[in-house]
Structure 1
Amino acid sequence: MDKSSKERFDGLTLLSASERNYPTRPEEARLEAFRNVYADRDYIIEFDCPEYTSLCPVTGQPDFGHIILRYVPDKLCIESKSLKLYLYSFRNTNTFHEESVNTILDAVVKTCAPRKAEVIGRFRPRGGIAINVKATYGGAIE
């Protein structure tokens, strides 16, 4: 690996780790980012995560959802394995849908300071009602 690649990926610890220490709460998990070599242009990155699971904060029953993260990166990009582990950390977390979507957005903004970002949560029906939540940062993404 040349020096510029090493510097670009220097902060990534989860991607090369072969251990299986999954975080059990979002507070324990960490998103990681790498340097965006195309920071001079606008482009959209989309993560499509159809297997999101959390627990209802009242009943403790599992809630299933589909999370879509879209963002326009600035100097940093989210590393996908760290996102997978971060989302996994909600699996045993009691949280409302609205809270989880906004928590995910806050973590993305804190980690990579994107130009714009949105997190969309499409949650499976419970009692005949499906809930969809969208949280944005920096304005709408076209």
Structure 2
Amino acid sequence: MSHYTDALTQLGANTTLPQSPEEAVLERVPNPQPDTLYAVRFTQPEFTSLCPITGQPDFAHLMIDYVPRDWLVESKSLKLFLGSFRNHGAFHEDCTVGIGKRIVDLLDPQWLRIGGYWYPRGGMPIDVFWQTAAAPAGLWLPDQAVPTYRGRG
């Protein structure tokens, strides 16, 4: 492993899924292109959490875009963090915005946005969007392109 990864605790090791988002460890690595304006996108089409009232499962398609400064999120730690919501009870808004804020706290990126496209329960989808500010000028940023729920008919 390189000196960039020496401090990582999960990469290259067997790891179990954290039991909660609070228990999950998000890790970062140095940005190899800190002077370049570019976006990083993570897509999690099978995100799950629990309704905090009924305990029933909720499903979402998450899209996370960010513009790094000095740090990148280490992807295995992000996968484990997102997976830790599987048994976590929280409303859609809290999950979506909380994930975005946790990444911002770790990375201090130039910019971040997260889209939570939640599948319907009771016939109504809830989509949640949060960003830190307007996207930086000159940034090429593709649309999130997650189709809205159309139902039947």
* Same-fold status (TM-score > 0.5): yes
Q: Distance in 2 between matches of 1:61 and 1:92?
A: 10
Aligned alpha-carbon RMSD (Å): 1.3
- Higher fraction of strand: 1
1:9 aligns with 2:5: yes
1:79-109 Cα deviation digits (max 9, x unpaired): 1110000001100011000000111011101
Segments of 5+ residues of structure 1 without an aligned counterpart are none
**Is contact 1:11-1:33 (8 Å) kept?**
no
**Identity fraction in percent:** 45
Taking the aligned partners of 2:112 and 2:130, their CA distance within structure 1 comes to 8
Q: Is it true that 1:33 corresponds to 2:28 in the alignment?
A: yes
Match of 1:98 among 76, 89, 93: 93
Give how far 1:25 is off: 0.5
8 Å contact from structure 1 (residues 9, 34) kept in 2: yes
- The count of corresponding residues between Structure 1 and Structure 2 is 137
Q: Deviations over 1:15-42 (max 9, x none)?
A: 1112x32101100001111000100011
Does residue 54 (structure 1) correspond to residue 49 (structure 2)? The answer is: yes
2-structure distance, mates of 1:105, 1:77 = 14
TM-score (norm 1): 0.91
Partner amino acid for 2:9?
A: T
TM-score (norm 2): 0.85
**Equivalent of residue 75 in structure 2, options 67, 71, 80:** 80
Structure 1, residues 63-88: CA drift from partner, whole Å, max 9, x if none?
00111110000000011110000001
Give 3-state SS (helix, strand or coil) of 1:89's partner: helix
Asked whether the 8 Å contact 1:69–1:117 carries over to 2, the reply is yes
Q: What secondary structure does 1:85 align onto?
A: helix
Instruction: Report how far residue 140 of structure 1 moved.
Output: 3.2
1:44 — aligned with what? 39
Gaps of 5+ in 2: 142-153
**Quick check: 1:9–1:35 contact (8 Å CA) kept in 2?**
no
